[in-house]
Amino acid sequence: MKKAWFHILLVVARGASHGAEIQRQTAERTGGEVTLYPVTLYRALDELADAGLIAETEAPGDEQHNEKRRYYLITPGGQEALVAEAAALEEAAREAKAAVRAARA
């Protein structure tokens, strides 16, 4: 899974969100390590939607005034993909730790 996909899925898994918010939360969560540049971000959103991992949704009630923004929410397929990716990452992390431990021992 592309890095951008993973970070987007992470944000929209918590609730409906739009592009700018996804970018802000990602930067915040990674301490500025990951920046989703605009075209990369929106292209990834299109790709995720195409792949059925996220879906466009209505704007939350309190943000109705801003019609330009598109809100996205994770789909069940997206949740599965995110969990699978997280599991793969966990597995990779476990393997990495084991490898380092073995090397030190």
Partner 1 sequence: MTRLSDLYLRALLRLLPRRFRKRHGAELLAVTRRMRCDLGPSPGPAVLARFYATVTWDLVRHAPWQIPGGRSKNTVTSPLERRIDPVMKRPVGFSWLDIKLGVRMLARYPGIAVVGTVAIAVAIALGTFYFEAVNKFREPGVSAPGGEPLVSIHNWDAQAGAPEPQALYDFRVWSREARTVDNLGAAHVFVRNLATGDGRVEPVRGAEITAGAFPLMGATPLLGRTLTDQDEDPAEPPVVVLGHALWKSRFDSDPGIIGRTVKLGTVDATVVGVMPEGFSFPATQRIWAPLRVNPAATLPRQGPPVAVFGRLVPGHSMTEARAELAAIGERLAAAAPATHENLRPLLTAYGNPLPGGGQAQFVNTILTVVNGIFLALLAIISMNVATLVFARTAGRGWEISVRNALGASRTRIVVQLFAEALVLTGLAAVVGLVAAKVALTQGLGMMQGSGALPFWIDDSLSWQTILYTVVMTLFGAAIIGVLPALRATRLNVQEALRNAAAGRSSLRFGGFWTTVIVAQVALTVALIPLALNGVSQSNRFMQRAEGIGAERYLAASIGMNREDYASDAETFNAHARFSFEELERRLLAEPGVEEVAFADRLPVEDQFKYAIEVDTTGGVPATGSQTSTMVQVSENFFDTFGTSVVAGRAFRPLDFEMGNVILVNQGFVQHVLEGRNAVGQRVRIAGGENSSLTGDTWYEIVGVVANFGWQLPSPAEQAAIYRPRLPRADAAMKMAVRTRDPGSFGPRLRAVALGVDPRIQVTEVQPLARVGGGEATTNWALTSVVWLVCLVVMTLSATGIHALMAFIVARRTREIGIRSALGATPQRIIRGVFARALLQVGLGIVAGGVLAALIGFESIPTLLGAGAVMLVVGTGACAVPLRRALRIDPTEALRSEV
Chain contacts with partner 1 (rule: CB under 8 A): 18-20, 23, 37-43, 45-46, 49-50, 68-70
> What is the nearest approach in angstroms of partner 1 to the Cβ of residue 65?
14
CA 98 – CA 41 distance, rounded (Å): 34
What DSSP element (H or E) covers 71?
strand 71-74
| Beta partners for residue 72, in sequence order | 17, 56
Of 31 and 105, CB closest to partner 1? 31
> What is the nearest approach in angstroms of partner 1 to the Cβ of residue 104?
36
CA 97 – CA 105 distance, rounded (Å): 12
Of 35 and 79, CB closest to partner 1? 35
